[in-house]
């Protein structure tokens, strides 16, 4: 299935949202479509062309239930953390409204994760443990671009995704569920499904000049 007609590359970049409530839980996703997305994602850069990233595509019901359970338990832990979305109240009204919307949407995903037809788990051969900043940058930089490319390719084919990592609050159990070999690290759990409707809007972001620095921070 080629990218949807009329969706320009810029439109895909502008509208690839964290989709939770608009994941169609009742429509299955064809493996051929996913494979196209992964073939595109494989073009992402990796340090020294190591190509150490892997994707685990989880469609088995029992596996999704196990990951959904970990996500729900991770979410319960996350709710008590002071620096997460539940702990960080904003005084500015618009920001606070966004926070409340994310919390509501996150609760929904925690309740329904196991029903999402596909879970995608990007992994990388290696570990961040004990690494200096350059090593962490090289390792994470060798998997996150590929995972994001997958998410963009998915969006351009009418699929929605959401980068999540709360199941990693129980990382050892998550590794066991997925049969991860020693020396391989999983970095996210990306629920993937067709979206209910194709229209998504660009999100509110800070003014560019607040985050763009010339020559020095």
Ligand X SMILES: Cc1cc2nc3c(=O)[nH]c(=O)nc-3n(C[C@H](O)[C@H](O)[C@H](O)COP(=O)(O)O)c2cc1C
**Which parts of this chain interact with ligand X (CB under 6 A)?**
17-18, 20, 102, 106, 109, 162-166, 203
Looking at the Cβ atoms of 4 and 13, the one nearer to ligand X is: 13
Contact 195/24 with Cβ under 8 angstroms? yes
Compute the least distance from the CB of residue 215 to ligand X, in Å.
27
Looking at the Cβ atoms of 40 and 189, the one nearer to ligand X is: 189
Looking at the Cβ atoms of 2 and 133, the one nearer to ligand X is: 133
DSSP code at position 66: H
Compute the least distance from the CB of residue 166 to ligand X, in Å.
4
Please count the helices (runs of H) and the strands (runs of E) in the chain. Answer: 8, 5
Element housing 94 (H / E) = helix 93-112
Contact 143/53 with Cβ under 8 angstroms? yes
Compute the least distance from the CB of residue 123 to ligand X, in Å.
16
Looking at the Cβ atoms of 55 and 71, the one nearer to ligand X is: 71
Compute the least distance from the CB of residue 71 to ligand X, in Å.
8
Looking at the Cβ atoms of 52 and 160, the one nearer to ligand X is: 160
Tokens of 50: 């190591």
Compute the least distance from the CB of residue 165 to ligand X, in Å.
5
Instruction: Report which of 199, 177, 19 is spatially closest to residue 109, judged by C-alpha positions.
Output: 19
Contact 150/122 with Cβ under 8 angstroms? yes
Q: Are strands 184-186 and 118-125 parallel, antiparallel or unpaired?
A: antiparallel
């Amino acid at each position: 299935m080629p990218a949807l007609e009329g969706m320009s590359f810029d439109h895909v970049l502008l509208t690839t949202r964290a989709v939770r409530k608009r994941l169609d839980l009742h429509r299955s996703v064809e493996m051929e479509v996913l494979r196209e997305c992964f073939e595109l994602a494989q073009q992402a850069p990796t340090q020294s062309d190591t190509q150490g990233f892997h994707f685990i595509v989880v469609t088995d019901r029992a596996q999704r239930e196990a990951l959904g359970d970990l996500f729900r338990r991770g979410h319960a832990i996350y709710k008590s953390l002071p620096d997460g979305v539940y702990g960080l109240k904003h005084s500015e009204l618009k920001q606070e409204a966004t926070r409340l919307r994310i919390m509501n949407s996150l609760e929904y995903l925690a309740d329904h994760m196991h029903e999402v037809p596909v879970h995608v788990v990007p992994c990388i051969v290696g570990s961040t443990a004990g690494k200096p900043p350059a090593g962490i940058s090289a390792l994470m930089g060798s998997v996150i671009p590929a995972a994001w490319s997958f998410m963009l390719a998915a969006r351009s084919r009418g699929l929605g995704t959401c980068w999540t990592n709360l199941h990693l609050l129980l990382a050892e159990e998550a590794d066991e569920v997925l049969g991860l070999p020693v020396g391989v690290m999983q970095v996210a759990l990306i629920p993937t499904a067709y979206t209910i409707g194709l229209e998504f809007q660009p999100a509110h972001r800070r003014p560019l000049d607040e985050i763009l620095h010339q020559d020095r921070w």
